A and B are shown apart, each in its own frame.
Chain A
Protein backbone atom coordinates (compact mmCIF):
# COMPACT_ATOMS: atom_id res chain seq x y z
CA UNK A 1 0.00 0.00 0.00
CA UNK A 2 1.85 3.04 -1.28
CA UNK A 3 1.19 6.48 0.17
CA UNK A 4 0.29 8.23 -3.11
CA UNK A 5 -2.48 5.77 -4.04
CA UNK A 6 -6.22 5.77 -3.59
CA UNK A 7 -5.94 2.50 -1.64
CA UNK A 8 -3.84 4.23 0.98
CA UNK A 9 -6.03 7.35 0.88
CA UNK A 10 -9.13 5.30 1.71
CA UNK A 11 -7.23 3.32 4.35
CA UNK A 12 -6.05 6.53 5.96
CA UNK A 13 -9.51 8.10 5.93
CA UNK A 14 -10.84 5.06 7.79
CA UNK A 15 -7.97 5.06 10.30
CA UNK A 16 -8.31 8.81 10.84
CA UNK A 17 -12.02 8.51 11.65
CA UNK A 18 -11.70 5.43 13.88
CA UNK A 19 -8.65 6.62 15.80
CA UNK A 20 -10.00 10.09 16.58
CA UNK A 21 -13.40 8.61 17.46
CA UNK A 22 -11.62 6.41 20.02
CA UNK A 23 -9.58 9.22 21.52
CA UNK A 24 -11.45 9.06 24.80
CA UNK A 25 -9.21 6.15 25.72
CA UNK A 26 -5.54 6.49 24.88
CA UNK A 27 -5.06 2.73 25.30
CA UNK A 28 -7.76 1.88 22.76
CA UNK A 29 -6.39 4.53 20.46
CA UNK A 30 -2.95 2.92 20.52
CA UNK A 31 -4.39 -0.58 20.07
CA UNK A 32 -6.32 0.62 17.03
CA UNK A 33 -3.25 2.32 15.62
CA UNK A 34 -1.28 -0.88 16.14
CA UNK A 35 -3.92 -2.97 14.36
CA UNK A 36 -4.03 -0.45 11.51
CA UNK A 37 -0.23 -0.60 11.28
CA UNK A 38 -0.31 -4.36 11.00
CA UNK A 39 -2.99 -4.19 8.29
CA UNK A 40 -0.81 -1.66 6.45
CA UNK A 41 2.29 -3.86 6.74
CA UNK A 42 0.33 -7.04 6.03
CA UNK A 43 -0.75 -5.57 2.70
CA UNK A 44 2.80 -6.42 1.50
CA UNK A 45 3.11 -9.80 3.15
CA UNK A 46 1.18 -11.01 6.19
CA UNK A 47 4.01 -13.33 7.26
CA UNK A 48 6.24 -10.40 8.08
CA UNK A 49 3.77 -9.00 10.60
CA UNK A 50 4.90 -11.90 12.80
CA UNK A 51 8.50 -10.77 12.30
CA UNK A 52 7.56 -7.26 13.34
CA UNK A 53 5.88 -8.56 16.49
CA UNK A 54 8.84 -10.85 17.28
CA UNK A 55 11.23 -7.96 16.84
CA UNK A 56 9.17 -5.79 19.21
CA UNK A 57 9.04 -8.62 21.77
CA UNK A 58 12.81 -9.02 21.57
CA UNK A 59 13.46 -5.34 22.21
CA UNK A 60 10.80 -4.98 24.89
CA UNK A 61 12.07 -8.01 26.85
CA UNK A 62 15.75 -7.04 26.51
CA UNK A 63 14.99 -3.49 27.69
CA UNK A 64 12.97 -4.84 30.63
CA UNK A 65 15.89 -7.09 31.62
CA UNK A 66 18.34 -4.20 31.40
CA UNK A 67 16.05 -2.20 33.67
CA UNK A 68 15.75 -5.04 36.18
CA UNK A 69 19.54 -5.00 36.46
CA UNK A 70 19.72 -1.23 36.95
CA UNK A 71 21.06 -1.57 40.50
CA UNK A 72 23.21 -4.56 39.63
CA UNK A 73 26.46 -4.93 37.78
CA UNK A 74 27.12 -2.64 34.81
CA UNK A 75 28.76 -5.51 32.92
CA UNK A 76 25.61 -7.58 33.08
CA UNK A 77 23.46 -4.72 31.82
CA UNK A 78 25.86 -4.19 28.94
CA UNK A 79 25.85 -7.91 28.11
CA UNK A 80 22.03 -7.91 27.89
CA UNK A 81 22.12 -4.81 25.70
CA UNK A 82 24.74 -6.37 23.40
CA UNK A 83 22.70 -9.57 23.16
CA UNK A 84 19.60 -7.57 22.28
CA UNK A 85 21.47 -5.59 19.62
CA UNK A 86 22.93 -8.85 18.33
CA UNK A 87 19.41 -10.28 18.08
CA UNK A 88 18.37 -7.31 15.94
CA UNK A 89 21.48 -7.72 13.79
CA UNK A 90 20.73 -11.42 13.30
CA UNK A 91 17.25 -10.55 12.00
CA UNK A 92 18.66 -7.86 9.73
CA UNK A 93 21.62 -9.97 8.67
CA UNK A 94 19.55 -13.00 7.76
CA UNK A 95 16.92 -11.24 5.71
CA UNK A 96 19.12 -8.62 4.13
CA UNK A 97 22.67 -9.93 3.88
CA UNK A 98 22.52 -13.73 3.99
CA UNK A 99 22.46 -14.22 0.22
CA UNK A 100 25.14 -11.57 -0.31
CA UNK A 101 27.59 -13.03 2.21
CA UNK A 102 27.07 -16.62 1.09
CA UNK A 103 27.68 -15.51 -2.49
CA UNK A 104 30.88 -13.67 -1.49
CA UNK A 105 32.02 -16.65 0.56
CA UNK A 106 31.39 -18.96 -2.39
CA UNK A 107 33.47 -16.68 -4.67
CA UNK A 108 36.26 -16.55 -2.09
CA UNK A 109 36.37 -20.32 -1.65
CA UNK A 110 36.39 -20.81 -5.41
CA UNK A 111 39.25 -18.34 -5.81
CA UNK A 112 41.40 -20.22 -3.26
CA UNK A 113 40.56 -23.61 -4.77
CA UNK A 114 37.99 -24.83 -2.22
CA UNK A 115 34.84 -24.46 -4.27
CA UNK A 116 31.85 -25.74 -2.30
CA UNK A 117 28.08 -25.88 -2.79
CA UNK A 118 26.90 -23.41 -0.18
CA UNK A 119 23.31 -23.28 1.08
CA UNK A 120 22.19 -20.41 -1.14
CA UNK A 121 18.51 -19.73 -0.48
CA UNK A 122 16.32 -16.99 -1.81
CA UNK A 123 15.36 -14.84 1.17
CA UNK A 124 12.50 -12.40 0.65
CA UNK A 125 13.41 -8.99 2.06
CA UNK A 126 10.75 -7.67 4.44
CA UNK A 127 9.90 -4.06 3.59
CA UNK A 128 11.35 -1.55 6.03
CA UNK A 129 13.42 -4.07 8.00
CA UNK A 130 16.44 -1.74 8.13
CA UNK A 131 14.31 0.98 9.66
CA UNK A 132 12.57 -0.98 12.40
CA UNK A 133 15.69 -2.92 13.45
CA UNK A 134 17.65 0.34 13.79
CA UNK A 135 14.80 1.72 15.83
CA UNK A 136 14.92 -1.33 18.09
CA UNK A 137 18.68 -1.09 18.58
CA UNK A 138 18.58 2.60 19.48
CA UNK A 139 15.77 1.87 21.97
CA UNK A 140 17.97 -0.69 23.72
CA UNK A 141 21.01 1.61 23.70
CA UNK A 142 18.92 4.46 25.16
CA UNK A 143 17.51 2.27 27.94
CA UNK A 144 21.00 0.94 28.68
CA UNK A 145 22.43 4.48 28.88
CA UNK A 146 19.58 5.59 31.16
CA UNK A 147 18.26 8.07 28.60
CA UNK A 148 14.96 6.22 28.43
CA UNK A 149 12.82 4.26 30.86
CA UNK A 150 11.58 0.96 29.38
CA UNK A 151 8.12 1.31 27.91
CA UNK A 152 5.18 -1.07 28.03
CA UNK A 153 4.89 -3.80 25.42
CA UNK A 154 2.04 -2.00 23.66
CA UNK A 155 4.08 1.20 23.35
CA UNK A 156 7.25 -0.55 22.16
CA UNK A 157 5.28 -2.55 19.60
CA UNK A 158 3.54 0.60 18.37
CA UNK A 159 6.85 2.48 18.30
CA UNK A 160 8.27 -0.11 15.92
CA UNK A 161 5.08 -0.74 13.92
CA UNK A 162 3.56 2.74 13.60
CA UNK A 163 2.60 2.79 9.93
CA UNK A 164 3.61 6.32 8.87
CA UNK A 165 7.32 5.60 9.46
CA UNK A 166 7.26 1.80 9.22
CA UNK A 167 8.57 1.12 5.75
CA UNK A 168 10.87 4.01 4.87
CA UNK A 169 11.41 6.13 7.95
CA UNK A 170 12.15 8.65 9.28
CA UNK A 171 13.85 6.57 11.96
CA UNK A 172 11.89 7.87 14.94
CA UNK A 173 13.71 7.17 18.20
CA UNK A 174 11.98 5.85 21.27
CA UNK A 175 13.01 8.98 23.16
CA UNK A 176 11.08 11.06 20.62
CA UNK A 177 7.93 9.00 20.18
CA UNK A 178 7.38 7.02 23.40
CA UNK A 179 6.71 10.13 25.53
CA UNK A 180 4.08 11.14 22.94
CA UNK A 181 2.33 7.80 23.45
CA UNK A 182 1.84 8.55 27.15
CA UNK A 183 -1.17 10.76 26.62
CA UNK A 184 -3.95 11.07 24.11
CA UNK A 185 -2.84 13.65 21.53
CA UNK A 186 -4.84 16.69 20.53
CA UNK A 187 -5.16 17.70 16.91
CA UNK A 188 -4.60 21.42 16.52
CA UNK A 189 -5.21 23.53 13.45
CA UNK A 190 -1.47 24.08 13.29
CA UNK A 191 -0.68 20.37 13.11
CA UNK A 192 -3.44 19.73 10.60
CA UNK A 193 -2.46 22.59 8.31
CA UNK A 194 1.27 21.79 8.26
CA UNK A 195 0.40 18.08 7.96
CA UNK A 196 -1.69 18.76 4.87
CA UNK A 197 1.00 21.01 3.38
CA UNK A 198 3.60 18.26 3.83
CA UNK A 199 1.34 15.55 2.41
CA UNK A 200 0.48 17.59 -0.68
CA UNK A 201 4.07 18.70 -1.22
CA UNK A 202 5.26 15.10 -0.87
CA UNK A 203 2.55 13.92 -3.24
CA UNK A 204 3.68 16.42 -5.87
CA UNK A 205 7.38 15.60 -5.49
CA UNK A 206 6.79 11.86 -5.74
CA UNK A 207 3.91 11.54 -8.19
CA UNK A 208 4.98 14.27 -10.57
CA UNK A 209 8.69 15.12 -10.32
CA UNK A 210 10.25 11.80 -9.25
CA UNK A 211 7.95 9.57 -11.30
CA UNK A 212 8.23 11.66 -14.46
CA UNK A 213 12.03 11.85 -14.27
CA UNK A 214 12.29 8.17 -13.44
CA UNK A 215 10.15 6.84 -16.27
CA UNK A 216 10.99 9.41 -18.92
CA UNK A 217 14.72 9.90 -18.42
CA UNK A 218 16.58 8.09 -15.65
CA UNK A 219 15.40 4.50 -16.03
CA UNK A 220 15.89 4.25 -19.82
CA UNK A 221 19.37 5.80 -19.65
CA UNK A 222 20.61 3.74 -16.69
CA UNK A 223 19.14 0.59 -18.25
CA UNK A 224 21.41 0.91 -21.27
CA UNK A 225 23.94 3.75 -20.95
CA UNK A 226 25.88 2.59 -24.01
CA UNK A 227 22.87 3.33 -26.21
CA UNK A 228 22.66 6.96 -25.07
CA UNK A 229 24.48 10.15 -25.86
CA UNK A 230 26.75 12.11 -23.53
CA UNK A 231 24.02 14.69 -23.05
CA UNK A 232 21.53 12.00 -22.01
CA UNK A 233 24.02 10.49 -19.57
CA UNK A 234 24.76 13.85 -17.96
CA UNK A 235 21.08 14.77 -17.85
CA UNK A 236 20.14 11.39 -16.35
CA UNK A 237 22.82 11.80 -13.67
CA UNK A 238 21.35 15.19 -12.68
CA UNK A 239 17.88 13.71 -13.12
CA UNK A 240 18.65 10.90 -10.71
CA UNK A 241 19.98 13.35 -8.11
CA UNK A 242 16.66 15.20 -8.30
CA UNK A 243 14.62 12.00 -8.52
CA UNK A 244 16.10 10.37 -5.43
CA UNK A 245 15.69 13.57 -3.44
CA UNK A 246 12.10 14.11 -4.57
CA UNK A 247 11.29 10.45 -4.03
CA UNK A 248 12.77 9.94 -0.58
CA UNK A 249 12.02 13.38 0.86
CA UNK A 250 8.47 12.97 -0.45
CA UNK A 251 8.03 9.81 1.59
CA UNK A 252 9.40 11.56 4.67
CA UNK A 253 7.21 14.61 4.16
CA UNK A 254 4.12 12.46 3.73
CA UNK A 255 5.02 10.30 6.73
CA UNK A 256 5.51 13.40 8.91
CA UNK A 257 2.26 14.89 7.60
CA UNK A 258 0.26 11.70 8.15
CA UNK A 259 1.63 11.35 11.69
CA UNK A 260 0.73 15.00 12.33
CA UNK A 261 -2.88 14.37 11.26
CA UNK A 262 -2.93 11.54 13.81
CA UNK A 263 -1.56 13.92 16.45
CA UNK A 264 2.10 12.89 16.56
CA UNK A 265 5.29 14.82 15.91
CA UNK A 266 8.01 13.23 13.77
CA UNK A 267 11.55 14.57 13.27
CA UNK A 268 12.80 16.56 10.32
CA UNK A 269 14.47 14.22 7.81
CA UNK A 270 15.57 16.51 4.96
CA UNK A 271 16.69 20.11 4.96
CA UNK A 272 17.52 21.21 1.41
CA UNK A 273 20.52 18.85 1.12
CA UNK A 274 21.81 20.11 -2.23
CA UNK A 275 22.57 23.53 -0.79
CA UNK A 276 25.20 21.94 1.47
CA UNK A 277 28.63 23.57 1.17
CA UNK A 278 30.54 20.51 2.40
CA UNK A 279 29.88 16.82 2.75
CA UNK A 280 29.66 17.21 6.52
CA UNK A 281 26.98 19.83 5.90
CA UNK A 282 25.28 17.48 3.41
CA UNK A 283 24.90 14.78 6.07
CA UNK A 284 23.29 17.29 8.41
CA UNK A 285 20.66 17.83 5.73
CA UNK A 286 20.15 14.46 4.03
CA UNK A 287 18.28 11.59 5.75
CA UNK A 288 18.91 13.34 9.04
CA UNK A 289 17.31 10.59 11.13
CA UNK A 290 19.77 8.01 9.73
CA UNK A 291 22.86 10.23 9.79
CA UNK A 292 22.19 11.32 13.38
CA UNK A 293 21.52 7.67 14.30
CA UNK A 294 24.85 6.60 12.78
CA UNK A 295 26.63 9.51 14.47
CA UNK A 296 25.17 8.89 17.93
CA UNK A 297 25.05 5.10 18.12
CA UNK A 298 27.81 3.95 15.77
CA UNK A 299 30.38 6.72 15.29
CA UNK A 300 30.36 8.07 18.87
CA UNK A 301 29.04 5.28 21.11
CA UNK A 302 30.40 2.17 19.39
CA UNK A 303 33.53 3.42 17.61
CA UNK A 304 34.58 6.21 19.97
CA UNK A 305 34.17 9.21 17.62
CA UNK A 306 37.09 11.61 18.06
CA UNK A 307 38.04 10.45 21.56
CA UNK A 308 41.03 8.37 20.46
CA UNK A 309 43.01 10.76 18.34
CA UNK A 310 42.70 12.32 14.92
CA UNK A 311 43.81 9.34 12.84
CA UNK A 312 41.30 7.10 14.60
CA UNK A 313 38.61 9.73 14.07
CA UNK A 314 39.18 9.59 10.31
CA UNK A 315 39.10 5.78 10.34
CA UNK A 316 35.88 5.91 12.39
CA UNK A 317 34.33 8.29 9.88
CA UNK A 318 35.21 5.99 7.02
CA UNK A 319 33.97 2.90 8.88
CA UNK A 320 30.70 4.64 9.78
CA UNK A 321 30.01 5.62 6.19
CA UNK A 322 30.99 2.20 4.82
CA UNK A 323 28.51 0.59 7.22
CA UNK A 324 26.00 3.32 6.35
CA UNK A 325 26.43 2.32 2.71
CA UNK A 326 25.95 -1.34 3.53
CA UNK A 327 22.81 -0.42 5.50
CA UNK A 328 21.21 0.53 2.18
CA UNK A 329 21.63 -2.94 0.77
CA UNK A 330 23.81 -5.96 0.19
CA UNK A 331 25.65 -4.66 -2.85
CA UNK A 332 29.22 -3.52 -3.43
CA UNK A 333 27.97 -0.38 -5.14
CA UNK A 334 26.43 0.76 -1.83
CA UNK A 335 29.71 0.07 -0.04
CA UNK A 336 31.57 2.13 -2.65
CA UNK A 337 29.01 4.90 -2.28
CA UNK A 338 29.53 4.87 1.50
CA UNK A 339 33.30 4.69 1.05
CA UNK A 340 33.27 7.72 -1.25
CA UNK A 341 31.29 9.73 1.30
CA UNK A 342 33.43 8.51 4.21
CA UNK A 343 36.65 9.22 2.30
CA UNK A 344 35.61 12.75 1.37
CA UNK A 345 34.41 13.42 4.94
CA UNK A 346 37.84 12.33 6.21
CA UNK A 347 39.61 14.48 3.61
CA UNK A 348 37.49 17.48 4.69
CA UNK A 349 38.58 16.94 8.31
CA UNK A 350 42.22 16.58 7.32
CA UNK A 351 42.04 19.71 5.17
CA UNK A 352 40.43 21.64 8.02
CA UNK A 353 43.39 20.64 10.16
CA UNK A 354 46.25 21.29 7.75
CA UNK A 355 44.85 24.31 5.88
CA UNK A 356 47.30 27.20 6.34
CA UNK A 357 45.80 30.20 8.13
CA UNK A 358 46.62 32.51 5.22
CA UNK A 359 44.60 30.43 2.80
CA UNK A 360 41.00 31.66 2.51
CA UNK A 361 38.09 29.27 2.71
CA UNK A 362 36.28 28.38 -0.50
CA UNK A 363 33.48 30.78 -1.43
CA UNK A 364 30.19 29.19 -0.35
CA UNK A 365 28.83 28.91 -3.89
CA UNK A 366 31.95 26.98 -4.95
CA UNK A 367 31.60 24.72 -1.92
CA UNK A 368 27.98 24.01 -2.88
CA UNK A 369 28.91 23.20 -6.49
CA UNK A 370 31.80 20.91 -5.52
CA UNK A 371 29.79 19.13 -2.81
CA UNK A 372 26.82 18.63 -5.13
CA UNK A 373 28.99 17.07 -7.83
CA UNK A 374 30.71 14.72 -5.35
CA UNK A 375 27.25 13.65 -4.22
CA UNK A 376 26.23 13.27 -7.87
CA UNK A 377 29.13 10.90 -8.59
CA UNK A 378 28.15 8.96 -5.46
CA UNK A 379 24.59 8.62 -6.77
CA UNK A 380 25.88 6.98 -9.96
CA UNK A 381 27.32 4.14 -7.88
CA UNK A 382 24.20 4.10 -5.72
CA UNK A 383 21.95 3.75 -8.77
CA UNK A 384 24.09 1.41 -10.90
CA UNK A 385 23.52 -2.34 -10.69
CA UNK A 386 27.24 -3.10 -10.56
CA UNK A 387 30.56 -1.35 -10.11
CA UNK A 388 31.42 -2.00 -13.76
CA UNK A 389 28.12 -0.46 -14.86
CA UNK A 390 28.89 2.70 -12.86
CA UNK A 391 32.37 2.95 -14.37
CA UNK A 392 30.97 2.37 -17.87
CA UNK A 393 28.47 5.17 -17.22
CA UNK A 394 31.23 7.56 -16.17
CA UNK A 395 33.33 6.60 -19.19
CA UNK A 396 30.29 7.10 -21.42
CA UNK A 397 30.02 10.71 -20.28
CA UNK A 398 33.53 11.24 -21.62
CA UNK A 399 33.12 9.46 -24.91
CA UNK A 400 29.54 9.22 -26.16
CA UNK A 401 28.04 11.55 -28.78
CA UNK A 402 26.17 14.75 -27.99
CA UNK A 403 22.77 14.29 -29.69
CA UNK A 404 20.02 13.63 -27.17
CA UNK A 405 17.28 11.06 -27.62
CA UNK A 406 15.40 11.16 -24.35
CA UNK A 407 16.04 14.55 -22.75
CA UNK A 408 12.83 16.54 -23.11
CA UNK A 409 11.99 20.15 -22.26
CA UNK A 410 9.76 18.83 -19.46
CA UNK A 411 12.61 16.78 -17.96
CA UNK A 412 14.85 19.87 -18.07
CA UNK A 413 12.21 21.95 -16.30
CA UNK A 414 11.72 19.26 -13.63
CA UNK A 415 15.48 18.95 -13.02
CA UNK A 416 15.84 22.71 -12.69
CA UNK A 417 12.78 22.82 -10.45
CA UNK A 418 14.16 20.01 -8.24
CA UNK A 419 17.39 21.93 -7.80
CA UNK A 420 15.77 25.35 -7.42
CA UNK A 421 13.60 24.25 -4.48
CA UNK A 422 16.80 23.88 -2.48
CA UNK A 423 17.28 27.62 -2.59
CA UNK A 424 13.83 28.71 -1.44
CA UNK A 425 13.33 29.93 2.16
CA UNK A 426 13.79 27.00 4.57
CA UNK A 427 10.52 27.69 6.37
CA UNK A 428 8.33 28.19 3.29
CA UNK A 429 6.04 25.27 4.23
CA UNK A 430 5.59 26.54 7.76
CA UNK A 431 4.81 30.05 6.54
CA UNK A 432 2.19 28.64 4.19
CA UNK A 433 0.69 26.56 7.00
CA UNK A 434 0.41 29.66 9.18
CA UNK A 435 -1.78 31.24 6.51
CA UNK A 436 -3.80 28.11 5.80
CA UNK A 437 -4.72 27.56 9.45
CA UNK A 438 -6.73 30.79 9.36
CA UNK A 439 -8.95 29.64 6.47
CA UNK A 440 -12.42 28.25 7.06
CA UNK A 441 -12.66 24.46 6.66
CA UNK A 442 -14.62 24.65 3.40
CA UNK A 443 -12.05 26.92 1.77
CA UNK A 444 -9.07 24.81 2.77
CA UNK A 445 -10.98 21.65 1.82
CA UNK A 446 -11.55 23.02 -1.67
CA UNK A 447 -7.92 24.11 -1.92
CA UNK A 448 -6.73 20.64 -0.89
CA UNK A 449 -9.14 19.00 -3.35
CA UNK A 450 -8.02 21.24 -6.23
CA UNK A 451 -4.34 20.57 -5.45
CA UNK A 452 -4.84 16.80 -5.38
CA UNK A 453 -6.79 17.03 -8.63
CA UNK A 454 -3.98 18.99 -10.31
CA UNK A 455 -1.34 16.51 -9.09
CA UNK A 456 -3.49 13.61 -10.24
CA UNK A 457 -3.75 15.01 -13.75
CA UNK A 458 0.03 15.37 -13.92
CA UNK A 459 1.06 12.09 -12.40
CA UNK A 460 2.44 9.28 -14.45
CA UNK A 461 0.01 6.38 -14.88
CA UNK A 462 0.55 4.08 -11.90
CA UNK A 463 2.95 4.75 -9.04
CA UNK A 464 6.41 3.23 -8.81
CA UNK A 465 7.44 2.08 -5.32
CA UNK A 466 9.55 4.54 -3.36
CA UNK A 467 13.29 3.99 -3.89
CA UNK A 468 13.86 3.55 -0.15
CA UNK A 469 11.29 0.74 0.14
CA UNK A 470 14.03 -1.69 -0.93
CA UNK A 471 16.18 -0.68 2.03
Chain B
Protein backbone atom coordinates (compact mmCIF):
# COMPACT_ATOMS: atom_id res chain seq x y z
CA UNK B 1 0.00 0.00 0.00
CA UNK B 2 1.64 3.19 -1.16
CA UNK B 3 0.27 6.38 0.30
CA UNK B 4 1.38 9.82 -0.74
CA UNK B 5 -0.22 12.81 0.85
CA UNK B 6 -0.78 15.73 -1.49
CA UNK B 7 -1.85 18.91 0.20
CA UNK B 8 -3.28 22.19 -1.07
CA UNK B 9 -0.79 23.85 1.28
CA UNK B 10 2.04 23.01 -1.12
CA UNK B 11 2.62 25.96 -3.42
CA UNK B 12 4.06 25.58 -6.88
CA UNK B 13 7.09 27.81 -6.37
CA UNK B 14 9.97 27.68 -3.88
CA UNK B 15 9.02 29.07 -0.44
CA UNK B 16 10.00 32.58 0.57
CA UNK B 17 13.00 32.54 2.86
CA UNK B 18 11.79 35.18 5.31
CA UNK B 19 9.94 34.01 8.44
CA UNK B 20 6.19 34.39 8.30
CA UNK B 21 5.07 34.47 11.93
CA UNK B 22 5.40 38.21 12.47
CA UNK B 23 3.93 38.91 9.05
CA UNK B 24 0.98 36.57 9.76
CA UNK B 25 0.39 38.18 13.16
CA UNK B 26 0.34 41.58 11.42
CA UNK B 27 -2.16 40.35 8.83
CA UNK B 28 -4.48 38.92 11.50
CA UNK B 29 -4.17 42.01 13.69
CA UNK B 30 -5.00 44.43 10.87
CA UNK B 31 -7.90 42.26 9.70
CA UNK B 32 -9.27 42.05 13.25
CA UNK B 33 -9.02 45.80 13.81
CA UNK B 34 -10.64 46.49 10.46
CA UNK B 35 -13.55 44.17 11.30
CA UNK B 36 -13.90 45.67 14.77
CA UNK B 37 -14.42 49.05 13.11
CA UNK B 38 -16.38 48.12 9.99
CA UNK B 39 -18.35 45.19 11.34
CA UNK B 40 -19.08 46.14 14.94
CA UNK B 41 -22.66 44.94 14.43
CA UNK B 42 -21.51 41.31 14.35
CA UNK B 43 -19.63 41.71 17.61
CA UNK B 44 -22.66 43.36 19.20
CA UNK B 45 -24.97 40.58 18.00
CA UNK B 46 -22.56 37.95 19.29
CA UNK B 47 -22.38 39.59 22.71
CA UNK B 48 -26.18 39.84 22.81
CA UNK B 49 -26.36 36.07 22.24
CA UNK B 50 -24.13 35.25 25.21
CA UNK B 51 -25.65 33.99 28.48
CA UNK B 52 -26.92 36.98 30.46
CA UNK B 53 -24.94 38.21 33.45
CA UNK B 54 -23.30 41.36 34.74
CA UNK B 55 -20.25 41.03 32.47
CA UNK B 56 -22.43 40.31 29.44
CA UNK B 57 -24.67 43.28 30.27
CA UNK B 58 -21.67 45.61 30.55
CA UNK B 59 -20.14 44.23 27.35
CA UNK B 60 -23.47 44.63 25.53
CA UNK B 61 -23.66 48.23 26.68
CA UNK B 62 -20.15 48.94 25.44
CA UNK B 63 -20.84 47.15 22.16
CA UNK B 64 -23.99 49.25 21.64
CA UNK B 65 -22.00 52.43 22.24
CA UNK B 66 -19.31 51.21 19.85
CA UNK B 67 -21.82 50.45 17.09
CA UNK B 68 -23.45 53.87 17.60
CA UNK B 69 -20.02 55.48 17.34
CA UNK B 70 -19.01 53.62 14.17
CA UNK B 71 -22.35 54.45 12.57
CA UNK B 72 -22.07 58.10 13.55
CA UNK B 73 -18.61 58.14 11.98
CA UNK B 74 -19.92 56.44 8.85
CA UNK B 75 -17.59 53.44 9.24
CA UNK B 76 -20.46 50.97 9.45
CA UNK B 77 -22.18 52.29 6.31
CA UNK B 78 -20.48 50.04 3.73
CA UNK B 79 -21.66 46.99 5.65
CA UNK B 80 -25.21 48.31 5.75
CA UNK B 81 -25.21 49.13 2.04
CA UNK B 82 -23.79 45.74 1.04
CA UNK B 83 -26.27 43.93 3.26
CA UNK B 84 -29.17 45.87 1.72
CA UNK B 85 -27.96 44.92 -1.77
CA UNK B 86 -27.76 41.27 -0.80
CA UNK B 87 -31.26 41.32 0.70
CA UNK B 88 -32.48 42.90 -2.51
CA UNK B 89 -30.90 40.05 -4.50
CA UNK B 90 -32.46 37.48 -2.16
CA UNK B 91 -35.91 38.92 -2.66
CA UNK B 92 -35.72 39.19 -6.44
CA UNK B 93 -38.16 36.90 -8.30
CA UNK B 94 -38.63 35.80 -11.88
CA UNK B 95 -41.32 37.66 -13.85
CA UNK B 96 -44.72 36.30 -12.94
CA UNK B 97 -43.48 34.68 -9.76
CA UNK B 98 -44.91 35.57 -6.33
CA UNK B 99 -43.18 38.69 -5.01
CA UNK B 100 -40.46 37.99 -2.46
CA UNK B 101 -40.57 41.46 -0.93
CA UNK B 102 -41.39 41.23 2.71
CA UNK B 103 -41.21 37.44 2.65
CA UNK B 104 -38.25 37.67 4.94
CA UNK B 105 -37.51 40.96 6.56
CA UNK B 106 -33.96 41.91 7.33
CA UNK B 107 -33.29 42.12 11.06
CA UNK B 108 -31.46 45.38 10.55
Contacts and interface: CB of A to CB of B under 8 A. Distances in A.
Interface string B65-108: 00000000000001100110010011011100110100000010
B27 interface: yes
Interface of A: 5-7, 13, 16, 20, 145, 147, 173, 175-176, 186-192, 194-196, 198, 212, 216, 253, 256, 260-261, 265-268, 292, 296, 300-301, 404-405, 407-410, 427, 429-431, 433-434, 437, 441-442, 444-446, 448-450, 452-454, 456-458, 461
Given A192-B27, A457-B82, A216 B90 contact: yes
B59 interface: no
B7 A267 contact: yes
B55 interface: no
A442 B46 contact: no
A443 to B, nearest CB: 9
B97 A173 contact: no
B11 A187 contact: no
In this complex, the interface size class of chain B, counting residues with CB under 8 Å from chain A, is 35 or more
Contact of B28 (A13, A256, A458): A13
Contact of A192 (B20, B89, B100): B20
Interface of B: 1, 3, 5-13, 15-16, 18-35, 38-39, 42-43, 46, 78-79, 82-83, 86, 89-90, 92-94, 97-98, 100, 107
A120 to B, nearest CB: 34
Contacts of A268: 6-8
5 contacts: A189-B15, A189-B18, A268-B8, A441-B25, A446-B34
> Which of A145, A191, A260 has the largest count of B CB atoms less than 10 A from its CB?
A191
A216 B94 CA distance: 15
A466 B33 CA distance: 28
A432 to B, nearest CB: 10
Contacts of A260: 9
Contact of B26 (A190, A407, A441): A441
A190 B38 contact: no
Nearest to A449: B34
Contact of B46 (A6, A147, A187, A256): A6
Nearest to B50: A7
B35 A430 contact: no
Given A434-B12, A445-B34, A261 B82 contact: no
A450 B20 contact: no
B92 A453 contact: no
Contact of A449 (B18, B26, B35, B97): B35
Given A13-B28, A441-B23, 13 more contacts: A20-B21, A189-B15, A190-B15, A192-B24, A256-B7, A260-B9, A267-B7, A301-B1, A404-B94, A405-B98, A441-B30, A448-B30, A461-B107
